[in-house]
Structure 1
Amino acid sequence: MIVPVLRELLEQNPTVEIVFVSRKNFADLFKEIPRIIFKGVDLDDYKGFFGMRRLSKELRTQFNPDYVADLHNVIRTKILDRIFTRKGFDVAVIDKGKEEKEHLTDVWNLDKAPLKHTTERYADVFRELGFSLTLSHKYRPERVEKSGIGFAPFAQHEGKMLPLDKSFEIAKKVAETKKIYFFGGGKNEVDILEKWASQIPNSENLAGNLTLTEELKKISSLEMMVSMDSANMHLASLVGTRCISIWGSTHPFAGFLGYGQNENDVVQVKDLTCRPCSVFGDKPCYRGDWACLEEINLQQIMDKINA
């Protein structure tokens, strides 16, 4: 979700250059954006306080930045913030809205309201450093000609994932009229999607077969993605592809809807007062029945796709 913010920041501030520090495997997300230097790190090489101190020294020696923007606000980056501050650097840190989100996910809170979008929280960090930044909240299609539908039926946590039998039925129905491509990762997901592809005509499993760059290119060519509240929704936003997103124990109110995606393309059970019970979908079901996922009507999803 940081990528479109950086892209628009650089467009609106043409003299700015960004050194982006993150895990090595995210490099492909940034390589098409001019004036971003991606420094990939293996965090196992920078363990503890002394590891962070060594990383900060490397960054100061190699890049000597004018400002430090902490877009993560976790223990590691807090150590870095403190070191940079003591060295006299201007440091700004993201406000994740922790208390607001705790209130939002309180099952006894019956007056739920949308919070600030996460991309605006990222943008606020740069605004605090003195940069002008107005987000468009629009994604940008990379291709004019599009065909086929992508389907990413998995998510990191149970609370964000439609039961697989329902997802299988959706895939079968979609494949009656459109070529469907399966996306996922990890051996278990690959094995399941390979089995689905063998059982559903007009389908193809791409899980485990593409690099991140190749995956982005393929998603950019699709008419739409169908995804849980997961990374694939955000990948679709990066390449300008519409996404029908399915939400269970989480909720767009927490600020994580894909950048530029339309709230009308969200599929969710709206009349459950316990939703959302979690920001990330990692908590056990308060009711014990996962009604937020079990009560989703498959026709709801098909209506969104067909529209």
Structure 2
Amino acid sequence: MKKGTKHNLSTAPSKSKRLLVIRLSAMGDVAMTVPVLLALTQKYPNLQLTVLSKPFFEPILAQIPNVTVHKADVKGKHKGILGLWRLFKELKQIKIDGVADLHNVLRSTILKQFFRIETIPFRQVDKARKEKKVLTAATDKVFEPLKSMHLRYADVFKELGFPVELKKDDVLPRKELPLGLKQHLALIDKPLMGIAPFAAFKGKTYPLEFMKTIVRQQNELGTHHILLFGGGKEEKQVLESWEKEFQHCSSIVGKIEFKEELALISNLVLMVGMDSGNAHLAAMYGIPTLTLWGVTHPYAGFYPFGQDSANALLANREKYPLIPTSVYGNTFPEGYDRAMETIAPEHVIQKISEILDSVKATP
């Protein structure tokens, strides 16, 4: 975290303060800000937050009290140095008292220089780049857990004079499912289970033939209606083929708006996903979330909020000792793309059963 002159904004004379929060991407990272922003607005009810993010993520952030979204057009009017200057002038009109940069990339660092002109306190998240480099190193690896990104986000607000303590119930409430949405997706009166089989990179995507075995088994049980999450043309084709094959499955790809997708996620009894955005979307509603990990690892600090550590199934490090090979799953040695094959479908099925049993047993 960048150090500088201390400003305790929370004890300043004015009754209400406004912070700018910067988190432009990606979906999972934006979702990870939710419990922190919820805790912040609950502890400081007079605090107003303006979150600078991409338009697509507004349905996530708009659910948080005292939060407004300022949409960043990073490919249009806010592109480049001149675009960022234009964005800065827009933000100046909001009367910001401090800036919490939860992204800490070149774009936000340039904005920091502009805010210095106005002597507005600006704090940036410590992304622990050196520690993550050591954690993912091929030689001299230090395999130890790093602080979670949720806590790193909270540290930024502490630096601005707004310390918060995160609690497991810092999650969004369930959203009501419109009758029209149920009819559109032909949802029957069964509990909803979510399965998100894809991730951005092959190194953290469970083999599709393995996942299909799991879907088939859950479909044969017939106890839940399975919602299949994904995006893009190829994923859409795969999930629609599963929808046709399995009676109790519905692919939602391309069928509904993102805000409706969030409503569905908030009503799941379980989400099964990778180390990816859908897991974090489920966790921000407090939905039990089973995650499957390949060349990435929870030690990097990206474990879904509030989830039991037993809800993570990990690739075998005895067979693949260099895990984690990267933070994002985009780089790995030859053969490590098969690391997730060490997570047997039977093991996933057993863990699904255990989590569902625990959900039933919860008052």
Q: Determine the structure 2 residue equivalent to 1:274.
A: 322
Report the CA distance between 1:292 and its aligned residue.
Answer: 1.9
Contact persistence 2:134–2:141 (CA under 8 A)? no
Mapped contact 2:135–2:141 kept (Cα < 8 A): no
Equivalent positions of 1:56-95 (< 5 A) are 56-61=88-93, 63-95=94-126
Per-residue CA distance 1:43-70 (angstroms, 9 max, x = gap): 1211211111111111002x01000111
Q: Which residue of 2 aligns with 1:16?
A: 47
Q: 1: CA distance between counterparts of 2:346 and 2:276? A: 21
Q: How far did residue 201 of structure 1 move?
A: 2.3
The match for 2:29 is none
1:132: Cα distance to partner? 2.1
**Alignment partners' CA distance in 2, 1:110 and 1:26:** 35
- Which residue pairs with 2:12 in the alignment? none
Q: Report deviation, 1:108.
A: 2.6
| Deviation at residue 138 of structure 1 after TM alignment | 4.2
Q: 2:293 maps to what in 1? A: 247
Task: Tell me the CA shift for residue 110 of structure 1.
Answer: 5.1
Q: Which residue of 2 aligns with 1:102?
A: 133
- Mean CA deviation greater in 133-142 or 151-160: 133-142
Structure 1 residue 227: Cα displacement: 0.4
Deviations 1:105-144 (A, max 9, x none): 0123454111000011111111011112111144547359
Query: Equivalent residue for 1:160?
Result: 204
For normalisation by structure 1, the TM-score amounts to: 0.95
Tell me, yes or no, if structure 1 residue 150 matches structure 2 residue 182: no
Asked if 1:184 corresponds to 2:240, the answer is: no
Q: Counterparts of 2:33 and 2:167 in 1: how far apart (Å)?
A: 14
- Provide the residue aligned with 1:229 in structure 2: 275
Q: Is the 8 A contact 1:234 1:258 kept in 2?
A: yes
Change (3 A) 1:143 1:46: closer
Q: Secondary structure at the match of 2:53?
A: strand
Instruction: Choose the corresponding residue for 1:294, options 341, 348, 353.
Output: 341
The SS at the match of 1:18 is strand
* CA deviation string 1:206-227 (max 9, x = no partner): 1211212111111121110100
AA aligned to 2:149 is T
Please name the residue that 2:57 is paired with.
26
Deviations for 1:249-306, whole angstroms, at most 9, x for unmatched residues?
10000010111111101011243321100100111x3142424212111111111101
Q: What amino acid does structure 2 have at the position aligned with 1:157?
A: F
Structure 1 residues not aligned, in runs of 5+:
none
Percent of residue pairs bearing the same amino acid type: 36
- d(CA) in 2 for partners of 1:82 and 1:146? 54
Name the structure 1 match of 2:216: 172
The change in CA–CA distance for 1:210 and 1:56 in structure 2 (over 3 A counts) is: same
SS at match of 2:150: helix
Gaps of 5+ in 2: 1-31, 176-188, 355-363
Normalized against structure 2, the TM-score is what? Answer: 0.81
Count of residue pairs the alignment pairs up: 305
Judge conservation of contact 2:38–2:171 (CA < 8 Å) in 1.
no
| Cα pair 2:227 2:250 within 8 Å, conserved | yes
Q: Tell me if 1:126 matches 2:157.
A: yes
SS at match of 1:83: helix
- Kept in 2: contact 1:139–1:237 (CA 8 A): no
The separation in 2 between residues aligned to 1:102 and 1:91, in whole angstroms, is 26
Does 2:78 match 1:46? yes
